[in-house]
Structure 1
Amino acid sequence: MARGELFLAALCVVVASALAANADARKMVGVYELRKGDFSVKVTNWGATIMSVILPDSKGNLADVVLGRDTVAQYVNDTSFFGPVAGRVAQRIAQGRFVLDGKVYHLNINDGRNTLQGGGRGFHKVIWTVREYVCAGDSPYITLYYRSFDGEQGFPGNLDVHVTYRVSSPYTLGVHMNATALDKATPVNLLQHTYWNLGGHGSGDVLGHALRLAASRYTPLDGEMLPSSGRVAPVAGTPFDFRAPTPIGARIRQVMGGRVVGYDANYVVDGEPGRMRPVAAVRDGASGRALELWGNQPCVQLYTANWLNHTEGKGGEVYDRWAGFCLETQGYPDAVNHPEFPSQILRHGQVYRHDMVFKLSF
């Protein structure tokens, strides 16, 4: 091990020891780096947010391939949803209400007349506790913890939530989320909302990125981005068909993500939910970088940053529409109001498990 690596490992141990010895320190907002060679990931415990992912291109040039902000303070005030974990129930819940075991629950409404990403103070707007932090070695990782209280944003029951980010070879980022219902039944649907641009976060739009989705069906959404019909439809013959590698921009002007042009669509992933299986593959021809996503959830949301509009980003860069893409594995949207969709209800003592693996290459 080189001297620099020894120093980094020692520093990591010091930080981890300080956190373990001081519970108050673990509730402070900080930035934590996971590094393995020339591959590094930065995370903050504000919103369990991925701040950066740095790796080489085909010529060995390093670049940060996720959109975001420069400082934690900017993430606190962020409205673009750069990189956090969404919950307790991600995506939209129609009219901010649902019925569970005969009781009507009313949620925080923060998107027109609906609830979006768990409400205005969802998991993306809270401080997570750092439970474990190993920043170097063969498999650096950080585990973040949050106790969601009974009635938070209107959801029933106390919920223990853990998120682990782990870096491993070669250029692999694992995201592992679990939640335990401590006393009451409650819906749970977490997602990770990182914007990717494999050319580098300030390199322009992602319309030329070639995307393949392992999804032959999708859920048509209405003007409020809700699956109001409850239908699951084939992608064949539609602009939503990415079963073969296709540039993201090839048909993007034929679709509407709500009131704006672009993809904001939920796909049903082929294969058996609950098992790790291929979800998506993306390649940027200019840089040679590629991303392969595996996951165990039934669905994945493709979002093409349709609402970015001269948005201030890292390093003085400005992000406009289509400057990145999100691939968010998840359960069916608004499942609490659609009995025809697989249930997201977690009963007392049950554990929700959500795993994603991003395999990066160049």
Structure 2
Amino acid sequence: MARALVFLALLCLVTSALVCVGEARKMVGVYMLKKGDFSVKVTNWGATIMSIILPDSKGNLADVVLGKDTLAEYVNDTAYFGPLSGRVAQRMARGRFVLDGKVYHTYINDGRNAIHGGHRGFSKVIWTVKEYVAGGDSPYITLYYRSFDGEQGFPGDLDVYATYQVSSPYVLSIRTNATALNKATPVNFLQHVYFNLGGQGSGDVLGHTLQLSASRYTPMDEELLPSSGRVDPVAGTNYDFRTPTPLGARIRQVMGGKGVRGYDINYVIDGAGMRRVAAVRDGTSGRALQLWANQPAMQLYTGNGLNNTRGKGGIVYRQYAGFCLETQAYPDAVNHPEFPSVTVRPGQVYKHDMLLKFSF
């Protein structure tokens, strides 16, 4: 037994591309998807996007995703750099909900509330690599996770798949689906990537221009919960991005929680089905991003909580060093019957698709 433990310890040190996690000492890998000068790195720890590298208008390559250097750092990360969050992402008031007359209590990990599925949500587990094609016309990786009945307090077994695929020109698709196997359960995923189109570590994103296909939003209270249940028009507010507007233009006039300046707000996306949600451009590098998705809402987060956070290559990320565009269901929908339901019943399939279209 002692020899076996020594062997496992040595195995963990063999390569920096692998890290040992948990009692079972399961291995976590890094997987590259590359097409020409466009490349994406993914790890099966938390189904996390670690990097996205593409040219700027002068042909200079840069990584436009904030993150960490090593897998061990991702395991200990508390800023949610790039993972797939679930079973129910965003905040849930008091970590409780009622479904079919039964009260469920989930793990509290954000003050008095739950966030991103609990302390061991989908971002903190090892996913199984089902398929991996590194090259060719459309390299992709498909990851799988079985979420068990009672995990973090959620009911029922859930089969989850996430596929990341690179295609031309400079498009990353993210396709997720989940099937409830034996009990009704709430489901809401989101991808928590921090972008800086100037390149990670290049400074803040306040000069990036943002346009959103959103004429309504859900006002938040100090705990960043939509406690009022209202859906208000953005017209005449500091949340109006219907025309291209610098992220920093009104950022000091909005509160992203108690005592914090910045955007951490949910928008209701106009239309339905797969449609353009957002367009962002960095004038300095010339890089631009269009986000398409099939979800009803999107959380805009401007990295308000980054506070001298150590990132890649020893770079220190300060406040507003990146932004997140988190397509999702309405936050805390489990406690708001006036919002569209997030309940998935046995045999039903939840589908969440995104397209990231880069240009320069």
Category of TM-score, reference length = shorter chain: over 0.9
- Aligned equivalents of 2:351, 2:108: Cα separation in 1: 26
Superposed displacement of residue 215, structure 1: 0.2
Superposed displacement of residue 229, structure 1: 0.4
Structure 1 partner of 2:270: 270
Superposed displacement of residue 194, structure 1: 0.2
State the Cα deviation string for residues 26-48 of structure 1 (Å, max 9, x = none): x6200000000000000000000
- Aligned equivalents of 2:316, 2:139: Cα separation in 1: 31
Structure-to-structure mapping, 1:139-288, within 5 angstroms: 139-259=138-258, 260-272=260-272, 275-288=273-286
Give the gaps of 5 or more residues in structure 1.
Answer: 1-24
- Aligned equivalents of 2:208, 2:30: Cα separation in 1: 30
Aligned AA (1:175): I
Say whether 1:337 aligns with 2:335.
yes
State the Cα deviation string for residues 220-263 of structure 1 (Å, max 9, x = none): 01001000000000000001000000000000000011121100
Structure 1 partner of 2:81: 82
Structure 1 partner of 2:63: 64
State the Cα deviation string for residues 184-210 of structure 1 (Å, max 9, x = none): 000000000000000000100000000
Structure 2 partner of 1:351: 349
- Aligned equivalents of 1:78, 1:93: Cα separation in 2: 21
- Aligned equivalents of 1:183, 1:305: Cα separation in 2: 38
- Aligned equivalents of 1:30, 1:346: Cα separation in 2: 31
Three-state SS of the structure 1 residue aligned to 2:28 is coil
Structure 1 partner of 2:4: none
Aligned AA (1:247): P
Superposed displacement of residue 316, structure 1: 1.3
Three-state SS of the structure 2 residue aligned to 1:79 is coil
- Aligned equivalents of 1:191, 1:110: Cα separation in 2: 17
- Aligned equivalents of 2:300, 2:353: Cα separation in 1: 17
State the Cα deviation string for residues 134-172 of structure 1 (Å, max 9, x = none): 010000000000000000000000000000000000000
State the Cα deviation string for residues 4-57 of structure 1 (Å, max 9, x = none): xxxxxxxxxxxxxxxxxxxxx9x6200000000000000000000000000000
Superposed displacement of residue 72, structure 1: 0.5
Structure 2 partner of 1:52: 51
Structure 2 partner of 1:133: 132
- Aligned equivalents of 1:183, 1:195: Cα separation in 2: 35
Structure 2 partner of 1:308: 306
Three-state SS of the structure 1 residue aligned to 2:340 is coil
- Aligned equivalents of 1:163, 1:72: Cα separation in 2: 19
- Aligned equivalents of 2:193, 2:201: Cα separation in 1: 15
Structure 2 partner of 1:328: 326
Structure 2 partner of 1:293: 291
Say whether 1:92 aligns with 2:91.
yes
Three-state SS of the structure 2 residue aligned to 1:256 is coil
Superposed displacement of residue 100, structure 1: 0.5
Three-state SS of the structure 1 residue aligned to 2:356 is strand
Aligned AA (2:267): Y
TM-score (norm 1): 0.92
Structure 2 partner of 1:119: 118
Aligned AA (2:343): I
- Aligned equivalents of 1:342, 1:78: Cα separation in 2: 32
- Aligned equivalents of 2:190, 2:79: Cα separation in 1: 15
- Aligned equivalents of 1:310, 1:226: Cα separation in 2: 26
RMSD: 1.1
Structure 1 partner of 2:315: 317
TM-score (norm 2): 0.92
Structure 1 partner of 2:35: 36
- Aligned equivalents of 1:283, 1:110: Cα separation in 2: 34
Structure 1 partner of 2:106: 107
Aligned AA (2:263): Y
- Aligned equivalents of 1:189, 1:28: Cα separation in 2: 27
Three-state SS of the structure 2 residue aligned to 1:257 is coil
Three-state SS of the structure 1 residue aligned to 2:27 is coil
Superposed displacement of residue 83, structure 1: 0.1
Give the gaps of 5 or more residues in structure 2.
Answer: 1-23
- Aligned equivalents of 1:219, 1:205: Cα separation in 2: 26
Three-state SS of the structure 2 residue aligned to 1:95 is helix
- Aligned equivalents of 1:113, 1:87: Cα separation in 2: 18
Aligned AA (1:290): A
- Aligned equivalents of 2:117, 2:135: Cα separation in 1: 33
